[in-house]
């Protein structure tokens, strides 16, 4: 039976990820010890290290799941956005933000972002960066769609504009994660306040 090993491997990969995510959420990333994660996943410490390069990689794997789901949901919004620049942006971005705390706590996000910055050459950090690029591409795509449908002025460089929006929403998300007390509604309000005037600038439909 060639499938036995493969099945066991997949099972262990999943068990480790689930145990880690549970403990990260329960006690925080730093307090969750590798030994405990291994025990909960019913493997030895050494085995855990056969499946993930290091502690951070386990976390980044969870982030990758999160972002993948967000990207998928975003595709639907981009395919058929509200035909109003500010509203379209708001819809997509609020979807990102609302999903962001589904699997991950703010502390987990902070750690994941920190890892992806500090060790950008790790395979899973590369993956994080790549997912980030996909999110950015999605925002660009939204602006592109809005331009094609005639609600964004034709002279606008959609690539530049999309990157600007994305860098801004990403940076604001970082600030959000840094302040435990900030509610997600405040993040949304702040980002919206920044994007609305820009949206007005590039919109063909001028509000009187």
Partner DNA sequence: GAAAAAGATTGAACGAGTTCATTTTTTAAG
Partner DNA sequence: CTTAAAAAATGAACTCGTTCAATCTTTTTC
By the rule CB under 7 A, 181 interacts with DNA: no
User: What count of Cα atoms within 13 Å lies in the side-chain half-sphere of residue 27?
Assistant: 10
Q: What is the 3-state secondary structure (H, E, C) of 105-147?
A: CHHHHHHHHHHHHHCCCCHHHHHHHHHHHHHHHHHHHHHHHHH
Binders in 147-186 for a copy of itself, by CB under 8 A:
156-157, 160-161, 163-164, 167-168, 170-172, 174, 177-179
The CA distance from 146 to 154, in Å, is: 10
Q: Which of 40, 50, 46, 35 is nearest to 15 (CA)?
A: 40
| Distance (Å) of CA 33 to CA 38, 66, 124 | 9, 23, 20
Using the minimum distance from each CB to a copy of itself, give the nearer residue, 13 or 53: 53
Using the minimum distance from each CB to a copy of itself, give the nearer residue, 6 or 160: 160
By the rule CB under 7 A, 98 interacts with DNA: no
Using the minimum distance from each CB to DNA, give the nearer residue, 24 or 165: 24
**Least CB distance to DNA at residue 74 (A):** 32
By the rule CB under 7 A, 55 interacts with DNA: yes
User: Given the rule CB under 8 A, which residues bind a copy of itself?
Assistant: 110-111, 113-115, 117-118, 120, 129, 156-157, 160-161, 163-164, 167-168, 170-172, 174, 177-179, 193-194, 197-198, 201-202
């Amino acid at each position: 039976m060639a499938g036995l090993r493969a099945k066991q491997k997949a099972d262990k990969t999943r068990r480790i990820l689930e145990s880690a995510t549970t403990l990260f959420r329960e006690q925080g990333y730093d307090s969750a010890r590798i030994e405990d994660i291994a025990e909960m996943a019913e493997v030895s410490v050494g085995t855990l290290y056969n499946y993930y390069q290091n502690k951070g990689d386990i976390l980044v794997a969870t982030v990758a799941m999160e972002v993948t789901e967000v990207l998928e949901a975003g595709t639907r919004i981009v395919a058929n956005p509200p035909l109003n620049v500010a509203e379209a942006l708001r819809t997509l971005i609020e979807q990102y933000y609302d999903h962001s705390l589904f699997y991950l706590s703010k502390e987990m996000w902070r750690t994941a972002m920190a890892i992806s910055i500090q060790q950008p050459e790790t395979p899973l950090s590369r993956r994080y960066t790549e997912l980030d690029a996909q999110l950015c591409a999605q925002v660009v795509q939204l602006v592109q769609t809005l331009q094609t449908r005639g609600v964004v002025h034709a002279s606008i460089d959609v690539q530049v504009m999309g990157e600007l929006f994305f860098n801004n929403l990403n940076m604001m998300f970082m600030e959000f994660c840094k302040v435990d007390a900030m509610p997600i509604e405040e993040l949304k309000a702040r980002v919206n306040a920044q994007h609305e005037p820009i949206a007005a600038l590039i919109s063909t439909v001028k509000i009187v």
